[in-house]
Amino acid sequence: MTKKIPVLAVLFSFCLLGFANASSDEWCYSFKKDLRVGSRGDDVAALRTALIKEGVYKTDWKSTTFDSYMDVAVKDFQNKYAPDILIPNDITTPTGIFGKTTRAKINSIYGCKDGVLNSKPIIEIVATDKNAIANKAIEYINKYLAQGVTVSLGKIENSTYSFYKFEAMSNGSPITVYALTDGSKIIFQEVDITKEPANAQINTSAPAAEIKKTDKPLVDLFVMSHCPYSAQIEKGIIPTIEALGDKIDFNLKFCSYAMHGEEELKEQTNQYCIQKEQKDKLLPYLKCFLKEGKGEECLNTVQINKDKLNLCVESTEKEFNTISNFKNQKEYFGNFPSFNIFKADNEKYGVQGSPTLIINGVQVQSNRDSDSLLKTICSAFSIAPETCTKNISSETPSAGFGTGTTSVSTTNGCGN
C-alpha cells in the first residue's frame, strides 16, 4: 500500500526540492546524537537554537530539556523538510524524534566544517512563461490536496532548470510550487498531475469515524493542560461549545499521565475542580489560561471562588494522591507521573495521548479549527439544530499558548 504524506504539511513546506534557507549569521553546530522527549544537555540547547532559526520554535517557550515543546518544533521541522526527511523513509506522520535522517538534514543547514558554517548552495529560479501549466497545477491542488482551504494563483516565474516557479496563494500567504516545463508534475512532493492520485480524497468535511447519533451528543475532550496541541484544539473547540450551548454535554477530561511535571498536575486538578464546582466559569477560565498559561492570574480574572476551589483540590488530592505520588515517584506511567482522576475513562476509550476527542463514545479525528469541530460534533445529532448550519472561524489556532493561527493542519499530539 502506498503511504501518503499529510498533504497540507507538505504543501506548506517552504523548503521544497531540498532547498535550504541560509541563516543570516554564521552560527553552526554539528549534531551527533539521537534526541527525543526526556533528552538533556548541550545538544538539546543547540537544537533549540537551530529550531528557533528555522522558525518552528517560539522563543518564549524556553525549554531546558527535550520537552513537548521541542517535540512540537521537531515535528514541524520534519514537516517543513518532508521531501528530505519523511518521504525517503516512506513515513506519513512526523515522529518528533531527532534521529538519523532529521539530524542529517539539520546538519546540512547548520553543521560545522572547520569550525564554520557549511556552505549551503541555494538553487535560484529565474523567470519565463507558464500560465496554462500553473493554472492546471492550481486546479489540481484545489481538487485533491488543499482540503479545507482554497488556493489561487500568485506570481509566476520561469526557470533554466526545467521548472516553472510560481506562487499558490492561501489566505493571502504565498506557497512556492515548482512545475516541470512539460506540465506533467508539480513538486512539494513529486505529484503526477496527469493522473488522479491513489486513494484520492476530494474535499469533504465528513469525519473519518462513524459516530452514533443521539438527541444530545456527549463530547469528551481528553487533554494535558500544558501540551501545545491540547491548547490548540481547546482554542478551536471553545467557540464551538459556546455556539452549541446546552444542546450538547461537554466534559473536559485529562489523560491518565502528565508530561509537564508538577505544574501540569496542579493545573489539571484546578481545572477539574473548576468544572466540578463552578462549571459556568470553566470556559472563561480556559480562554484566559490559553492566552499565556498564567493560571493564578486567571483565577482572579475570572473570579473563581477560591474557598470552593481549595476545598475541592484538597479532597481530590486525598482521593487520588496526585502530588504525593509525583513527589514519591509512585504509580508512574513509564517516565511520567500518573493523573488518575479519569483513569477509568482513559481505559474505556483507549486514550493514549493528548488531545483525544470522544463523541458519543467514539474516538474521532477532526481538524482543529472551530468550523471543522462544529461540523464533526454536529454529525452526532439525530436531528441537527440550526446552529449546525452556521459558519464560525475556519482558521486553525496555533499550537501552544497564544492567540495566533496557523495555515498548517495537523493531528499531532503529546504522548503515545
- If the chain, 416 residues long, is cut into consecutive pieces of 10 residues, what is the mean pLDDT of each piece? 39 34 63 91 92 86 85 90 86 88 92 68 38 75 66 67 66 68 62 54 50 95 94 96 96 94 95 96 97 95 96 96 93 88 95 94 94 95 94 92 84 80
Does any domain span residue 209?
no
Domain residues for 231? 218-408
Same domain assignment for residues 305 and 327? yes
> Does residue 415 form part of some domain?
no
Regarding whether 46 and 151 lie in a shared domain, the answer is no
Supply 312's cell numbers: 475541592
CATH of the domain at 87: 1.10.101.10
Q: Does residue 143 share a domain with residue 93?
A: no
The answer on 385 and 350 residing in a single domain is yes
Structural domain includes residue 205: no
Distance CA 145, CA 326 (A): 45
Do 91 and 154 lie in one domain? The reply is: no
Same domain (yes/no): 344, 391: yes
CA–CA gap between residue 336 and residue 313 (Å, rounded): 21
Looking at residue 374, its pLDDT comes to 96
Task: Look up the pTM and report it.
Answer: 0.60
Q: Are residues 23 and 144 in the same domain?
A: no
Task: Measure the CA–CA gap between 139 and 180, rounded to whole angstroms.
Answer: 16
376, part of any domain: yes
Same structural domain for residues 70 and 111?
Answer: yes
87, part of any domain: yes
Residue 391 and residue 286 share a domain: yes
Please check whether residues 167 and 92 belong to one and the same domain: no
Give the count of domains, the chain: 3
In a domain, 199, yes or no: no
Q: Looking at the structure, do residues 255 and 350 belong to the same domain, yes or no?
A: yes
pLDDT score of 151: 73
Instruction: State the pLDDT at residue 292.
Output: 92
Residue 256 lies in a domain: yes
Is the domain of 290 the same as that of 360? yes
CATH of the domain at 164: 3.10.450
Q: Is residue 180 part of a domain?
A: yes
